[in-house]
Structure 1
Amino acid sequence: MPRLLLALAAFVSLIVAPALVAPAAAQALDPENTIYLDTKDGRVTIRLRPDLAPMHVEQIKKLTRAGFYDGVVFHRVIEGFMAQTGDPTGTGTGRSNLPDLPAEFSNAPFKRGTVGMARAQDPNSANSQFFICFDDASFLNGQYTVFGEVVSGMEVVDKIKKGNPARNGMVDNPDKIVRMQVAADAR
């Protein structure tokens, strides 16, 4: 009997354990909650997290479907921290014409590949700007909204030109989003 129980336990762990620890990239992606962000260096695939930030996800999808992000530069790119985009003026002060969003803070950590919303001092001021973390940024935990995670293409994110052209002109011809699409709409 003990051998049978051990064998059964081993079998169950083989079936259940992979499902519990499968990395985000291995999980099936919902096309309605997946973003394709294309740069000159390739594609970044982002899994949106409506379970964490439903209002932010809806706003990102609405802006994406309107073509808002196409051609927008990465206006703030800090080595070892993050690449920020989503400002149509390229200055770091621009936004969409949609209303600002109330904070949807969660316990999700800011780590390599996390996609979060940028905001001003007011926690309820997120609008269209977002950033992708190059590395751990746990000092942001609980203070900014996590709405997605990169599931493929971090090597593309790593190639984004570093600098802050909006403030000091460190980067000539900053990298930009060539095209951004909701996967369900991709052609």
Structure 2
Amino acid sequence: MQIQLRHWLISLFMIGGLILGGCATPQAASSDSTNLATETTTTPATTASSPMSNLPRLEGKATVVMTVNGSPITIEVDGTHAPVTAGNFVDLVQRGTYDGLVFHRVVREPQPFVVQGGDPQGKDPNFPTERLGTGSFIDPATNQARYVPLEITPKGADKPVIGQTLKSARVSAVPELRHTRGAVAMARSSMPDSASSQFYFALADLPFLDGDYAVFGNVTQGMDVVDKIQQGDRIESAKVTKGAENLKK
């Protein structure tokens, strides 16, 4: 009973960090080690003025190999259950957006949680490290930040729930893509449709995040590499090795 209570309290603390992070200042968001949120100061680009049809989609699956500390991490990206989220990630990989970026948040205590990176500001070695975790991908075609909607497919459903958590949508089913160890998912602020380029690896099964954050893939090889990532390590390269033809822009 004491072990279950401790686990529940830790989970509650982590969820609280996620919720609070979306409303915090950039400095506060960066200092909260359990916060998956990213700071957004503009309206997400999935409003009526910029519909989802303008976003890349992945129709099927793709394989991405990310190299960190000289070793490969193989990610299966699932466009079947998260076509827009997966399409955004694969498009950013193809653009070279992730090459050279920093893992700015690594949380292993009090229990394994996440390794988070993908802030484009991290490519600048002079950018203050305490502000990493606040940036988004700026689309050169529009000179505006690109945001993707929260996209979660309930188990057994034909299409994803868009723009809402499963709880908000009153869906009781678990997601098709869950926060199991090795899951790859998008970080966001408190606004559901605010994910852009920042992502995280789940270091353990994190069922309390299911239905709130969009999982779009899974590490199939190289989880031992993920386990060794330290805060400040950089993504040396990220390449699409299979399924590039499934990306539709």
TM-score between the two structures when normalised by the length of structure 2: 0.56
**Deviation per residue, 1:102-133 (Å, 9 max, x gap):** 11123022010000000011011111000000
Structure 2 residue runs of 5 or longer lacking an equivalent are: 1-59, 123-131, 140-145, 154-174, 245-249
Contact 2:61 2:79 (8 Å CA) reproduced: no
Which residue in 2 is equivalent to 1:150? 219
Corresponding residue to 1:103 among 135, 138, 150: 150
Contact 2:61 2:76 (8 Å CA) reproduced: no
SS at match of 2:81: coil
> 1:185 offset after TM fit, Å?
8.9
Are residues 1:82 and 2:121 paired?
Answer: no
The one-letter code matched in structure 2 to 1:85 is: G
Identity of aligned residues (%): 40
Contact 2:62 2:243 (8 Å CA) reproduced: no
Question: Structure 1 residue runs of 4+, over 4 Å off?
Answer: none
Which residue in 2 is equivalent to 1:14? none
**Deviation per residue, 1:67-100 (Å, 9 max, x gap):** 1000000011101001001102231001101421
> 1:184 offset after TM fit, Å?
3.5
Which residue in 1 is equivalent to 2:133? 92
Contact 1:41 1:156 (8 Å CA) reproduced: no
C-alpha distance in structure 1 between counterparts of 2:149 and 2:186, whole Å:
11
RMSD of equivalent CA atoms? 1.8
The one-letter code matched in structure 1 to 2:133 is: G
TM-score between the two structures when normalised by the length of structure 1: 0.74
C-alpha distance in structure 1 between counterparts of 2:182 and 2:61, whole Å:
20
The one-letter code matched in structure 1 to 2:75 is: I
Which residue in 2 is equivalent to 1:122? 191
Corresponding residue to 1:180 among 232, 238, 242: 238
Are residues 1:159 and 2:206 paired?
Answer: no
C-alpha distance in structure 2 between counterparts of 1:95 and 1:182, whole Å:
21
Structure 1 residue runs of 5 or longer lacking an equivalent are: 1-30, 164-173
C-alpha distance in structure 2 between counterparts of 1:45 and 1:138, whole Å:
23
SS at match of 2:226: helix
Change in Cα spacing, 1:40 to 1:119, as seen in structure 2 (3 Å) is same
Which residue in 1 is equivalent to 2:62? 33
